[in-house]
Chain A
């Protein structure tokens, strides 16, 4: 996991400046947004967006609805192409879905295959990756163990609670052994207790695997709690950059639902980010 001070040094450079000023000496970025712009018809949804994500970082994105948070993910998967600029994955322009990029969707109920068991849903990712049948069972078992679903392998998604369904989707994404995990408001539909549990489980899992995470949320505190950095996007950027502000998060890891949220730094960030959100709404 990158240290948070290093994260801040990188990210501080990013807003509103051209691409040529990026720090040269860093390890290569896993993901690089390079002056990206995107138009939907005549409307510019994303403008002059530049940021890098380095291995093991957790970057959270907040912003008002309609600011292109989910669009950001689609750009990363190559499902849509930028109107200008470039999105790079390990240095190469993104042209389409890559096996080592996984998405956790918010609507877990729609993203899971209702006709397959819990184990079968995880198996889907292994089948896609061409894992031989003989190896699948053991890997499924390990993955389900990691997300606490080992006891439920033969159930169907419809028989699980929302939190368990989202755990299952995370397990299926981890089965891809992704270098980058994209999460689109994954815990937004869950109750507060389940959300906190899943936040901690997710942090443990990605820390253990060294996965780089781009986490979209509308929950400010969640963004600060999870992230090494919080990117605040603005809606209708016009001539400005979509990236309104970057908040580096200097909070020690592992994080703790009680003590982390009581740290002066957490409260300071919360106030700062909250002020920003209030201004832009």
Chain B
């Protein structure tokens, strides 16, 4: 993963252009801020600890929701992947529940849990449940049939067949599903904080907006972008390290 510096030319150029343009035109705005002001606001938020606190809150809630919902989705996905009967019995329920937009559950979740992290975690969990369920089910289904034949020829019992062949064969794809779900969890977590939970990065964004601090708002947006990028890049590194041999096609899947 060699960083290509040419990719940085365009954003840096645009930032310089914005800075110069806004200085020359003496822009005074409640919605815009000069890149230098944004950088300064980011620096201050990092120094006074407020950014770390809200990042911790957002990440904590997002990962807790992912762990709960994604974990449950993974277990059910494995079950449905292995048992056609279970998959068929549940397919209608899945088809009916899955299209419910996760954000639409905020009111219900608020009724049940009130304001706070439990409500946010519940909504994130609901969201992450579906991709993990469907993608891990698909991962099991996509295990190379030849390998299953090898397992049968070798006379493995069902338990060993799953433990030695099916799960390791599906694991790379399950990890890809996890990587996707991390991104989703972060997005939904921030959304819930903007809409309902008065904590975390989403709420920080809201209060920056309401206190007419566009510099801080952009700083938070920038920070969210960096956070998402770092998570995704980190997971991609792990994916390439762990599944290098099983996912030859993952080589083209780079940020």
What residues make up the interface of A, taking CB atoms closer than 8 Å to B?
77, 79, 97-99, 101-103, 105, 107, 110-111, 113-116, 124-125, 127-129, 156-159, 176
Contact = CB atoms under 8 A, between A and B. Distances in A.
Contacts of A124: 154, 164
B247 to A, nearest CB: 9
Interface stretch (B12-20, B141-149, B191-199, B221-229): B141-149
Given A124-B164, A158-B245, A158-B248, A113 B147 contact: yes
14 contacts: A77-B153, A99-B155, A103-B149, A103-B153, A105-B149, A111-B146, A111-B147, A111-B149, A114-B245, A115-B243, A125-B154, A128-B155, A128-B156, A157-B245
Q: How large is the interface on B (under 10, 10 to 19, 20 to 34, 35 or more residues)?
A: 20 to 34
A105 B146 contact: yes
B237 interface: no
B153 A110 contact: no
Nearest to A116: B168
Contacts of B165: 113
Interface of B: 144, 146-147, 149-150, 152-156, 160, 164-165, 168-169, 171, 243, 245-246, 248
Mostly helix, strand, loop or mixed at chain B's interface?
helix
Identify the interface centre among A102, A113, A156, A159: most chain B CB within 10 Å of its CB.
A113
A59 to B, nearest CB: 19
B245 A156 contact: yes
Given A110-B144, A158-B248, A115 B150 contact: no
B153 A101 contact: yes
Given A97-B152, A124-B154, A128-B156, A107 B146 contact: yes
A191 B150 CA distance: 25
Identify the interface centre among B150, B153, B160: most chain A CB within 10 Å of its CB.
B153
